[in-house]
């Protein structure tokens, strides 16, 4: 299929070179009338004759051939790499496609090209994609499948600007535009993530369950693992911890079976954390010990281990970990977590401890971190109740109730 018709590209580059048809006729020895008929597609133009004319108007024939014969396959494969997270293949694929960018502009695959390149810019964290304005200008002429892909990543772009509600509206509009399985699966996957960030757990769960169903149809096991992890996390945030653990244990078995080391480690950390929430501190630290055998602990691993030790009244062992971690450069939230743990381990629940809790609360609210917001509210309630300041404790209790109501109603 000619995605870049010979007749069209000849006329464009002839005009770029400021050649008349008669001048081109003199260079190529094709008759003036013949060239005119080629340009308006009255007669077919063979590959051999096109090569002669292309050379005269400075067209690189190899790129035209590539666009007509291979570009559609490469763009399809690029989208598959994005969806299936084959990141190791993307760089070489994009480099090959970009070499023909000058000519792609004139082809019927240009919309596909700019939508995928915009998507990659968003995936790579580039907030100033050069393709955004052009897509916005052309979107009335872009087919619905490509518009769905664009809206998918435009929603993510919008969410990173702090406009979560607007981002969710965009992705909901995209979902309504069509039902091509692979595109719909990604839309529901991202809709689940955005709603989860905003605390709309009920809606997030619905999107994730639909994404799970669609990724099973597509045999996309990589995204399926991500979706099932999201589903387990939502169950945990809804306090359905047994359901969450059931999914995580299933994922762990599959990760071990398929020798997916990265997924195995992440899943073990999730299991350890939710066992801790369920006050199963010994089992939680058994999981952490299993991780230590196969991989160095992350800062999150050290936090879970130390926190379990505090709850198991093993303060000396906990303090060794706390002191070691507080000497390291830490993410602000983890720094606050270890500082809180330090106060709790030393039974110094004073005003400084309360100030750290309030600082932590402000950070979790700003980052829409509902899980840690609830975690801090619980500690503030306990703190003020221990000080017999029941009025203040009730204020934080009301805030927690409002948070939970919002979480379950959306």
- pLDDT tens, position by position, 215-228: 999 888 888 888 99
Residue 86 has pLDDT above 60, yes or no: yes
Place of tokens 């969710």: 168
Would you say residue 127 lies in a domain?
Answer: no
| CB-based burial label for 336 (10 Å; 0-12, 13-18, 19+) | buried
Q: Please say if the pLDDT value at position 393 is more than 80.
A: yes
Q: Is 99 helix (H, G, I), strand (E, B) or coil?
A: coil
- Structure confidence at residue 259 (pLDDT): 85
3-state secondary structure of 368: coil
Q: Which of 32-36, 162-166, 312-316, 365-369 has the lowest mean pLDDT?
A: 365-369
Instruction: Give dist(CA 261, CA 255) in Å, integer.
Output: 7
Q: Is residue 200 part of a domain?
A: yes
Q: Are 264 and 251 within 8 A, CB to CB?
A: no
Q: Report if residue 213 sits inside a domain.
A: yes
Torsion of CA 347, 351, 353, 358, to 10 degrees: 150
Question: H or E stretch including 359?
Answer: helix 351-366
Give the pLDDT band of residue 368 (cuts 50, 70, 90).
Answer: low
Domain encompassing residue 398:
349-410
Average pLDDT rounded to a whole number, residues 319-328: 93
Grouping H, G, I as helix, E, B as strand and the rest as coil, residue 377 is: helix
pLDDT of 206 over the 60 cut:
yes
* Side-chain-side CA neighbours of residue 178 (13 Å): 14
Residue range 146-204, pLDDT digits in tens: 999 999 999 999 988 888 899 999 999 999 987 788 899 999 999 999 998 887 888 99
- Per-residue model confidence (pLDDT) at position 406: 63
Measured distance between the N- and C-terminal CA atoms of the chain, rounded to whole angstroms: 48
Q: Mean pLDDT in the chain? A: 88
CATH number at residue 147: 1.25.40.10
Total number of domains in the chain: 3
Inside any domain, residue 331: no
Question: What pLDDT was estimated at residue 407?
Answer: 55
Work out the number of other CB atoms within 10 angstroms of the CB of residue 43: 11
In this structure, what token pair is assigned to residue 74?
A: 């490469």
Pick from 238, 257, 289: which residue ends a domain?
238
For 25, other C-beta atoms within 10 Å of its C-beta total 18
For 46, half-sphere exposure in the C-beta direction (CA atoms, 13 angstrom radius) is: 4
CATH code of residue 20:
1.10.260.40
Q: Is residue 83 part of a domain?
A: no
**Could you say which of 59, 76, 103 is where a domain stops?**
59
Within a domain: residue 228?
Answer: yes
CB 12 within 8 A of CB 106: yes
Distances in whole angstroms, Cα of residue 100 to Cα of each of 65, 66, 74, 109, 173 = 10, 8, 12, 12, 33
* Predicted confidence (pLDDT) at residue 251 exceeds the cutoff of 60: yes
Picking from 194, 223, 238, the residue at the C-terminal end of a domain is 238
Residue 84 lies in a domain: no
In a domain, 231, yes or no: yes
Residue found under tokens 């590209």? 9
CA 220 – CA 228 distance, rounded (Å): 12
What average pLDDT does range 108-134 have in this prediction?
91
Say whether pLDDT at 40 is over 80. Answer: yes
What is the rounded distance in angstroms from the CA atom of residue 117 to the CA atom of residue 114? 5
Does the structure show a pLDDT above 80 at 366?
no
**Mean pLDDT of all residues in 132-138:** 90
User: In this structure, how many other beta carbons lie within 10 angstroms of the beta carbon of residue 348?
Assistant: 10
Q: How many other CB atoms are there within 10 angstroms of residue 309's CB atom?
A: 22
Spell out the residues 6+ positions from residue 336 whose beta carbon is closer than 8 angstroms to its own: 356, 359, 360, 363
Instruction: Note the pLDDT of residue 404.
Output: 66
Q: Write down the pTM of the prediction.
A: 0.75
pLDDT at site 198: 81
């Amino acid at each position: 299929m000619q995605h870049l018709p010979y007749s069209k590209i000849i006329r464009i580059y002839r005009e770029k070179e400021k050649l008349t048809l008669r001048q081109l006729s003199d260079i190529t020895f094709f008759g003036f009338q013949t060239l005119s008929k080629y340009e308006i597609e009255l007669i077919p133009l063979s590959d051999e004759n096109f090569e002669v004319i292309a050379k005269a108007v400075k067209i690189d024939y190899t790129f035209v051939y590539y666009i007509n014969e291979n570009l559609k396959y490469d763009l399809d494969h690029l989208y598959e790499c994005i969806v299936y997270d084959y990141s190791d293949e993307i760089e070489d694929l994009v480099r090959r496609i970009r070499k023909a960018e000058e000519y792609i502009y004139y082809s019927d695959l240009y919309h596909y090209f700019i939508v995928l390149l915009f998507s990659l810019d968003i995936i790579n964290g580039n907030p100033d994609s050069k393709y955004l304005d052009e897509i916005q200008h052309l979107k009335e002429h872009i087919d619905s499948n490509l518009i769905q892909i664009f809206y998918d990543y435009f929603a993510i772009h919008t969410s990173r600007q702090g406009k979560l509600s607007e981002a969710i509206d965009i992705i909901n509009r995209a979902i309504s535009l069509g039902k091509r399985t692979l595109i719909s699966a990604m839309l529901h996957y991202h809709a689940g993530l955005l709603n989860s960030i905003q605390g709309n757990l009920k809606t997030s769960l619905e999107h994730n369950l639909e994404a799970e169903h669609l990724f099973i149809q597509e045999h996309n096991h990589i995204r399926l693992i991500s979706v099932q992890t999201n589903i387990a996390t939502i169950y945990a945030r809804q306090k359905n911890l047994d359901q969450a653990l059931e999914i995580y244990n299933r994922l762990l078995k599959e990760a071990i079976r398929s020798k997916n080391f990265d997924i195995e480690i992440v899943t073990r950390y999730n299991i350890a954390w939710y066992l801790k929430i369920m006050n199963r501190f010994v089992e939680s630290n058994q999981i952490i010990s299993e991780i230590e055998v196969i991989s160095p602990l992350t800062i999150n691993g050290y936090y879970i281990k130390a926190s379990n030790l505090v709850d198991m009244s093993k303060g000396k062992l906990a303090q060794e970990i706390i002191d070691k971690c507080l000497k390291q450069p830490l993410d602000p939230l983890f720094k606050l977590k270890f500082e809180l743990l330090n106060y709790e381990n030393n039974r110094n629940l004073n005003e400084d401890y309360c100030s750290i809790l309030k600082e932590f609360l402000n950070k979790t609210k700003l980052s829409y971190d509902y899980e840690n917001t609830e975690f801090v509210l619980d500690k503030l309630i306990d703190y003020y109740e221990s000080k017999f300041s029941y009025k203040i404790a009730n204020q934080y209790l009301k805030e927690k109730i409002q948070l939970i109501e919002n979480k379950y109603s959306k």
